[in-house]
Amino acid sequence: MRVLILGGDGYLGWPTAMAFSAKGHEVRVIDNYLRRRLCRERDVEGLYETPNLLERVRRWKAISGKSITPHIGDCCDYPFLSRIFEQFEPEAVIHYAEQPSAPFSMLDHGAADLTITNNLRSTLNLAWAVHAFVPQCHIIKLGTMGEYGTPNIDIEEGWLDIDHNGRRDRFLYPRQAGSLYHTTKIQDTDLLWFYVRTWKLAVTDLMQGPVYGLSTTETDLDDELKTNFNYDEIFGTVLNRFVVQAVAGYPLTVYGKGGQTRGYLNIRDTLACVELALLTPAAPGELRVFNQFVETFSVNELADRVSRVGKARGHAVTVENLANPRVEAEEHYYNPVHTGLRELGLKPHLLTDEVLSQMFEVVERHAGQIDKHKIFRGYRW
Amino acid sequence: MRVLILGGDGYLGWPTAMAFSAKGHEVRVIDNYLRRRLCRERDVEGLYETPNLLERVRRWKAISGKSITPHIGDCCDYPFLSRIFEQFEPEAVIHYAEQPSAPFSMLDHGAADLTITNNLRSTLNLAWAVHAFVPQCHIIKLGTMGEYGTPNIDIEEGWLDIDHNGRRDRFLYPRQAGSLYHTTKIQDTDLLWFYVRTWKLAVTDLMQGPVYGLSTTETDLDDELKTNFNYDEIFGTVLNRFVVQAVAGYPLTVYGKGGQTRGYLNIRDTLACVELALLTPAAPGELRVFNQFVETFSVNELADRVSRVGKARGHAVTVENLANPRVEAEEHYYNPVHTGLRELGLKPHLLTDEVLSQMFEVVERHAGQIDKHKIFRGYRW
């Protein structure tokens, strides 16, 4: 299948590109290195350096014998994006090309403006390019469980039937997020849902929880194929950060009471879910929504697990409950449905002590490169 | 009260500025003439020319003795906008500074990009400027009834209590609009609702139906104080267009079956509603929503009324059911609540034959200036 990946240099984008290339798909990737630039500017580079996208693609060719075609440019640049659609005529496009950090989106006005402008213009351009050049193309868009927030009712899988005054209709499940980043993901859903109804686009929205891990079949083939791995409070996801903190002897940074509960998944399951979506596309005029996570944990439960495994490996792990820098409920009801992807055949990886130990092993190899000043600076919102 | 009006040169913005100035408020207006530029570029100027904003303000001073301070510039320019907030310290701000045309937003990629970028960046900048300089300032934002679309259940006033699996929560009423423009109004609601919860902004969202009319107490004082009046299919609202078509001997352009039902209001009621919102502000941390319309009509009912009044005035009015250029339901359930503004004291103007006759009178005076080529070009979406 001809697959175009927007944001193909990212934490998930690059492993996705290799996974699909390995399975024999014809893969092109687009990236403008926005994430790399933002990390450099904010002094929060990852645990180790990763080769740029052109070098990654060359290395992948050398190791696997397979080609991935890279395009360096901005999905907000419509002439650039539409030329690639016109030439390549993708059958599916995976949309990772968004500013993905909630804390970044809350830093200052410039960061907020960049987040909203980048995330909505890239999605708008995607809808227009598909409509103009490949109207049957399946759009697989990464949403986030954070769009739902923490409502007091069960979270359904994207849609909700509402009975009201004796009549009934079906609506997008109500969304109310806890950061500007997550709000832009609600807004890009609004946008795609509009064009799905108007132009009969075929869209799958993967409402993903926080991802952890740095090992996939392809990244493990060679040190130069690793994905990037942030451990700072802006771009690092919580479990990845905790493992680095444990190795560095830095107290695990639990925000407030630590009762915040979310649905998590291993990066290997992200790849599996995106592939399941690819192989069973949405129909024209359908916005199909899956809740993409495997297990729910509170932040305290994550801290407990990291502590246990870290101590067993000889680290002196401590936990610190910090004054919460975020505006969020620290204890709340949380009961999200997530049956759709299992019904498509997902075999989840669970967060076992063994999986955690494997994460520790990689981080321990880079222990000397951890910069404690990058871990926590207390950005508030 | 110190009142700042964003988009103060517009169809509603300029009459609002004069109305508040007349009541003794200290009024500043911001406009970048975007609407004028778009009308010129698309060859759809209004029925008559209107003086620019600086001339309007001078004329208003000469007639009323009262001052309105104009600022020519773009609300998407944050340094420009924030300087005005810092200097003026408004107690209330009325946000009309959005690209307001559904058909325009559907013309082409450039128009879509302009609409989404302008409408979301102006709203983002507004939220930031209020938070930074006048956190208690009451934001009165114009939403639209079009955000709700045409659901199969009753439309409540902004919010909906949902019972689900034995639990209950309250959410923004589900929104799903019929144009990109209306979708950007859903998105700016998402945005303000997020900042209301995070920063405790005080926001009133006026979900307005299509407005008709061109007469207010202040616009009637002098020919140079008139508001702009579009009669084309892009920027003209339906009733205004029909009156011009009747006078021009152009068949009334009913799209499809004409069963599309919406809630309408007179421009005088827009001013009254905005004033009621101003005088009874939302509380900090509150997003207060009013459905702002007075009566519901189908397009066929509007065409019937315009025909009847037009014929009585000697015009040979005909109606033509055109193939619908829009993607929309031509027959649907529609039952929206609109009690909030009446409870605040709104005394509605109804669409009587007398009111319609007064509109005819003004248009008839300009009959020689109607350019039939501007009326309908069949832009499709």
Q: How confident is the model at residue A380 (pLDDT cuts 50, 70, 90)?
A: confident
Mean pLDDT of B59-75: 98
* ipTM summary value: 0.96
Specify if B100 maps to a domain. Answer: yes
Query: For residue B144, what are the CA distances in angstroms to A83, B216, B290?
Result: 36, 21, 10
A198 touches chain B (CB under 8 A): yes
Domain hosting residue A349, numbered range: 2-374
> Is residue A339 scored above 90 in pLDDT?
yes
pLDDT tens digits, one per residue of B215-253: 999 999 999 999 999 999 999 999 999 999 999 999 999
**How many domains does chain A fold into?**
1
Specify if B282 maps to a domain. Answer: yes
Mean pLDDT of B315-342: 95
Residue pairs spanning A and B at CB distance below 8 A? 119
pTM across the whole model: 0.97
What 3-state DSSP class applies to B191?
helix
Across chain B, the runs of DSSP E, i.e. the strands, are 2-6, 26-31, 68-72, 92-95, 138-144, 159-164, 167-172, 202-208, 211-212, 252-255, 261-266, 287-292, 295-298, 319-322
Pairwise CB contact (< 8 Å): B167 & A333 = yes
Helix B180-199 × helix A180-199 angle, to 10°: 160
Q: Chain B contacts of A327, Cβ < 8 Å? A: 197-198
Q: Chain B contacts of A165, Cβ < 8 Å? A: 153-154
pLDDT for the residue numbered A161: 98
pLDDT for the residue numbered B380: 87
> Is residue B199 scored above 90 in pLDDT?
yes
> Is residue A200 scored above 90 in pLDDT?
yes
Q: How confident is the model at residue B381 (pLDDT cuts 50, 70, 90)?
A: confident
B128 touches chain A (CB under 8 A): yes
Pairwise CB contact (< 8 Å): A167 & B183 = no
pLDDT tens digits, one per residue of A103-132: 999 999 999 999 999 999 999 999 999 999
Specify if B308 maps to a domain. Answer: yes
pLDDT tens digits, one per residue of B262-291: 999 999 999 999 999 999 999 999 999 999
B329 touches chain A (CB under 8 A): no
pLDDT for the residue numbered A381: 84
In chain A, % of residues over pLDDT 90? 99
CA distance B121 to chain A (A): 7
pLDDT tens digits, one per residue of A40-97: 999 999 999 999 999 999 999 999 999 999 999 999 999 999 999 999 999 999 999 9
Q: Which residue of B has its CA nearest to A155?
A: B164
Across B213-299, the runs of DSSP E, i.e. the strands, are 252-255, 261-266, 287-292, 295-298
What 3-state DSSP class applies to A123?
helix
Specify if A380 maps to a domain. Answer: no
Specify if B379 maps to a domain. Answer: no
pLDDT tens digits, one per residue of B78-102: 999 999 999 999 999 999 999 999 9
A193 touches chain B (CB under 8 A): yes
Q: Chain A contacts of B183, Cβ < 8 Å? A: 190-191, 194
- Residue tagged 């610190």 (tokens): A320
Mean pLDDT of B293-320: 97
CA triple A116-A194-B193, angle to 5 deg: 45
Q: Chain B contacts of A177, Cβ < 8 Å? A: 194
Residues 6+ apart with CB under 8 A from B249: B315, B316
β B261-266/B295-298 pair status: antiparallel
CA distance B296 to chain A (A): 20
Q: Which residue of B has its CA nearest to A77?
A: B113
Specify if A379 maps to a domain. Answer: no
* C-alpha to C-alpha distance for A3 and B159, rounded to whole angstroms: 41
Residues 6+ apart with CB under 8 A from A28: A2, A3, A4, A5, A8, A68, A69, A70, A71, A84, A88, A90
Q: Using CB atoms, which residue from B78, B117, B177 is nearest to A109?
A: B78
Tokens, residue B37: 């530029």
Which CATH number belongs to the domain containing residue B10 in this structure?
3.40.50.720
A169 touches chain B (CB under 8 A): yes
Specify if A381 maps to a domain. Answer: no
pLDDT tens digits, one per residue of B17-46: 999 999 999 999 999 999 999 999 999 999
A108 touches chain B (CB under 8 A): no
* C-alpha to C-alpha distance for A299 and A238, rounded to whole angstroms: 8
Mean pLDDT of B133-144: 98
CA distance B196 to chain A (A): 11
> Is residue B59 scored above 90 in pLDDT?
yes
B271 touches chain A (CB under 8 A): no
Q: Chain B contacts of A332, Cβ < 8 Å? A: none
A79 touches chain B (CB under 8 A): no
Pairwise CB contact (< 8 Å): A154 & B172 = no
* C-alpha to C-alpha distance for B315 and B320, rounded to whole angstroms: 16
